[in-house]
Amino acid sequence: MDGFFNVYKPLGMTSFEVVDIIKRQFKVKAGHLGTLDPGATGVLPIAVNAATKAIRHIEQDDKEYVATLVLGIATDTQDRYGNIIDMKPVPDFSLNVIEDTLKRFKGEITQIPPMYSAKKVKGRKLYEMARSGLIVDREPIRVTIYDIILLDYQKPHLIKIKVRCSKGTYIRTLCQDIASSLNTCGHMVSLERVKAGVFESDESIAVDCIRAENLLPIDYPFRSFKKVVVSGEDIKRVLNGGKINVGSCKDVGKVCIYSDKGTFLAVGLESSGFVKVLNVFASRG
């Protein structure tokens, strides 16, 4: 059993708990792509057995979220589970003002990681320090918002958005920063991840409904990778983790390597007419 489960994480469950359910149910090695907080729902791809080696090749894939923020109230966790630390009046914004404000967040932006996060500073997780009453300086990070659109605006307090972003984006922080740009405060009240790379919520399966037949093949998340087909001695070279000549092609990037019979063999890196094998997934037998 090697491949991926496209799991829909329910509210209140940790990502680790979802992985543990898969491990115990199928007696397998498993890992997840992109942690979701207990208060978030949505797509949580689970890699099983040999597919865990594929995580490093796809963990940088874009993510897409639907989030709702409430204006006028700020919390110490930037979501609805924290303590209220500020309250401000909320003007009656026009739709155009909200949309123009969202547009300013499109592109590369800077975020300060929230204190209630798993990011480490000097070897300690920030949320551990926060729970001890400590607030420390955090280095800003650069993330990219590829798209942000307004889904709903219920005057004067509720804003619902869809965000497509790079790995490492804090949607809670984005919500707080949007509120600040509107000269008020705010916090996130709901978060759903609707897409993680090629994994989409419309095709995901509830945790308690996962069956062996729901397993997706190892090469499922590599659909955007260039396909390289090999035969004969090159198959042996690939299975032994070697390098193969692909001619005068000047492409650079990761590729999927298949045998001439259609068997998925490995992921490699193409450069200067050669492909260097990064991970072998097919049996050498």
Pick the CATH number of 3-61+197-214 from 3.40.50.300, 1.10.10.10, 3.50.50.60, 3.30.2350.10: 3.30.2350.10
Respond yes or no on whether the N-terminal peptide bond of residue 140 is cis (omega within 30° of 0).
no
Would you say 171 and 64 are in contact if contact means Cβ atoms under 8 Å apart?
no
Q: What is the pLDDT of residue 71?
A: 97
pLDDT tens for the chain, residues 1 to 285: 899 999 999 999 999 999 999 999 999 999 998 889 889 999 999 999 999 999 988 888 899 999 999 999 999 999 999 999 999 999 989 999 999 999 999 999 999 888 777 777 777 777 777 777 777 778 888 999 999 999 999 988 999 999 999 998 999 999 999 999 999 999 999 999 999 999 999 999 999 999 999 999 999 999 888 899 999 889 999 999 888 888 766 677 899 999 999 999 999 998 888 899 999 998 765
> Which numeric CATH code is attached to 225-280?
2.30.130.10
* Domain(s) of CATH 3.30.2350.10: residues in the chain: 3-61+197-214, 63-196
Q: What is the pLDDT of residue 212?
A: 95
Q: What is the pLDDT of residue 220?
A: 94
- Spell out the long-range contacts of 143-146 with Cβ–Cβ below 8 A and sequence spacing 24 or more: 143/108, 143/109, 143/111, 143/168, 143/169, 143/170, 144/107, 144/108, 144/109, 144/169, 145/105, 145/106, 145/107, 145/108, 145/109, 145/169, 145/174, 146/62, 146/106
Does residue 152 carry a catalytic annotation? no
Q: Can you list the alpha helix ranges (DSSP code H) found in 146-210?
A: 171-181
Q: What is the model's pTM?
A: 0.89
Up-side HSE of residue 252: CA atoms within 13 Å toward CB?
A: 2
Q: What is the pLDDT of residue 15?
A: 93
| Per-residue DSSP letter, 116 | S
* Domain(s) of CATH 2.30.130.10: residues in the chain: 225-280
CATH fold for the domain made of 63-196: Pseudouridine synthase (3.30.2350)
Q: Could you say which of 37, 61, 79, 219 is catalytic?
A: 37
Q: What is the pLDDT of residue 133?
A: 75
